[in-house]
C-alpha cells in the first residue's frame, strides 16, 4: 500500500501533467447554454478520467446537457463516496481570445480554470494514486452554473447511497474549505391589474405597475442581510405603451438563506404579500431552488479533512460559509454529509483575471485522496 508521503510525492511529480491537463480543459470552452460546447467538453473530461483511472465513464445526456458518471466497484461491502464536480462554465465561447490560457509566476489563468476545471484535474489525479477505488462514484455535471436543472436528480440519486460527498468546487479565500453554503430560492411575482387609457380615464384602470412598486418595497423590507436572509428583487417589468395603465407587471426575486427554518419563514412572508392597490392581484411562482448546506452537514468531514491535512504535512485548514450555491447543496439536501470547496486555490471566479495557484494542485489532490481513504476506513 502506498504511504501518505509517497502519495504526496507522486502527485507533486505529476504537477507538469496536471498543468497540461488543465490547459486542455480550459481551452475547450464550455458555457452552460451551448450544448455542443458542453458535449465537446465532456469528451475532454472523459478522456482525462479514463486515462488516469483506466475506466470509461457513463455518458448521460438529459435535456441535451452532457453529464459523466464513473462508478468504481459494483459490489456491496463498503461505503460509497461521491466526488462531485461540473465542467460547464459561465464564459461564452470566444472568451479565450480576451482571456487566454497562460501560466505566469506560479499562477494559471483562463476562463473557468478556478471554477472549476482545476478541481476536475485534482479529482482524477487523486484517483490515479488510490490503490483501490472500489466504492467511489464520480459525477461531473454539465449544468451546475444554471442551477442543475437536468442533473439534480442524478446528484440526489448518488448522494442518497453515499456515506459522504466531496465537492471539487473552488476553495474560498486563502484555500478555505466551504463548510456552509446558503440555500437559494428564486421566485417570480406576477401582478394582474386592469388596463385603461392613461389620458382619458386612468381611474377606470387598476395599475399593476404601482402595485408592483409596493411589492418591491415590501420585498426589500424582508431582507436581513448581510448576516441574515437576503431578499433581492432583480428583474422588473410593467406596462405595454406609455399611454396605457399597466394591466400586468412582474418581478423576479433572489433569496439566500443559511437554514431551512429561514427558508420556510421567508417563503411564507413572500407568499403573504399584498399588492395594496384595489383591483389588482398577485400570483407567486417558485422557480428553481437549492437547499442550504448547513454547518452540521459538513462538521464531521471537515474534522476529517483537518486530520488528513495534518498527516500530509499541509498547512492547517480553515472553513468558510459562502453565499453562492453549488451541487453540494443538493447532496446535503438529501441528508448526505457533504464537504465543499476541495477544488483549486485561486481567485476571481467568473471574472477577468480568474486564476489558480499551480503549486497547490498536487497538495489538494493528495488531500482528496486521503479523505476518500479515511471515509472508507471509518465505515469498514
Reply yes or no on whether 144 is catalytic: yes
Reply yes or no on whether 88 is catalytic: yes
Q: Helix 35-53 crosses helix 15-27 at what angle (to 10 degrees)?
A: 160
Of 29, 115, 143, 144, the active-site residue reads 144
Is the bond leading into 180 cis (omega within 30 degrees of zero)? no
Pairwise CA distance, residues 145 & 43, whole Å: 19
Of 88, 158, 169, 354, the active-site residue reads 88
Q: Which helix (H) or strand (E) holds 61?
A: strand 58-62
The string of DSSP codes covering 89-114 is BSPPTTHHHHS--EEETTEEE-TTII
Reading phi first (left if > 0) and then psi (alpha if -120 to 50, else beta), residue 144 is in alpha
Grid coordinates in use for 142? 454539465
User: Residues 340, 293: contact at Cβ < 8 Å?
Assistant: yes
Pairwise CA distance, residues 36 & 34, whole Å: 6
The residues assigned a catalytic role are: 88, 144
Amino acid at each position: 500500500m502506498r504511504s501518505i508521503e509517497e502519495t504526496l510525492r507522486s502527485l507533486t511529480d505529476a504537477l507538469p501533467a496536471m498543468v497540461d491537463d488543465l490547459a486542455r480543459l480550459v481551452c475547450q470552452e464550455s458555457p452552460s447554454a451551448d450544448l455542443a460546447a458542453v458535449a465537446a467538453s465532456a469528451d475532454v473530461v472523459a478522456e482525462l478520467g479514463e486515462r488516469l483511472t483506466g475506466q470509461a465513464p457513463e455518458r448521460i445526456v438529459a435535456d441535451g446537457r452532457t453529464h459523466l458518471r464513473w462508478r468504481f466497484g459494483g459490489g456491496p461491502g463498503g461505503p460509497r463516496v461521491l466526488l462531485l464536480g461540473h465542467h460547464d462554465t459561465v464564459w461564452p465561447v470566444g472568451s479565450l481570445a480576451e482571456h487566454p490560457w497562460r501560466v505566469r509566476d506560479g499562477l494559471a489563468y483562463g476562463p473557468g480554470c478556478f471554477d472549476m476545471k482545476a478541481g476536475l484535474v485534482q479529482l482524477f489525479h487523486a484517483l490515479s494514486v488510490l490503490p483501490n477505488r472500489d466504492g467511489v462514484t464520480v459525477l461531473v455535471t454539465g449544468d451546475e452554473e444554471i442551477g442543475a436543472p437536468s442533473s439534480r436528480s442524478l446528484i440526489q440519486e448518488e448522494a442518497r447511497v453515499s456515506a459522504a460527498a466531496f465537492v471539487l468546487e473552488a476553495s474560498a479565500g486563502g484555500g478555505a474549505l466551504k463548510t456552509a453554503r446558503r440555500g437559494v430560492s428564486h421566485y417570480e411575482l406576477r401582478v394582474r391589474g386592469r388596463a385603461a387609457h392613461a389620458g382619458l380615464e386612468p381611474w377606470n384602470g387598476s395599475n399593476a405597475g404601482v402595485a408592483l412598486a409596493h411589492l418591491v418595497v415590501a420585498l426589500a423590507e424582508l431582507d436581513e442581510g448581510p448576516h441574515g436572509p437576503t431578499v433581492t428583487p432583480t428583474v422588473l417589468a410593467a406596462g405595454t405603451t406609455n399611454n396605457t395603465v399597466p394591466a400586468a407587471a412582474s418581478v423576479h426575486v433572489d433569496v439566500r438563506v443559511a437554514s431551512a427554518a429561514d427558508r420556510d419563514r421567508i417563503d411564507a412572508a413572500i407568499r403573504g404579500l399584498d399588492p395594496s392597490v384595489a383591483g389588482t392581484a398577485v400570483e407567486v411562482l417558485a422557480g428553481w431552488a437549492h437547499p442550504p448546506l448547513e454547518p452540521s452537514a459538513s462538521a464531521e468531514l471537515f474534522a476529517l479533512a483537518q486530520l488528513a491535512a495534518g498527516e500530509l504535512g499541509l498547512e492547517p485548514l480553515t472553513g468558510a460559509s459562502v453565499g453562492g450555491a453549488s451541487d453540494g447543496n443538493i447532496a446535503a439536501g438529501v441528508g448526505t454529509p457533504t464537504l465543499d470547496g476541495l477544488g483549486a486555490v485561486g481567485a476571481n471566479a467568473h471574472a477577468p483575471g480568474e486564476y489558480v495557484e499551480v503549486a497547490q494542485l498536487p497538495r489538494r489532490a493528495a488531500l482528496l485522496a486521503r479523505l476518500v481513504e479515511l471515509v472508507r476506513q471509518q465505515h469498514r
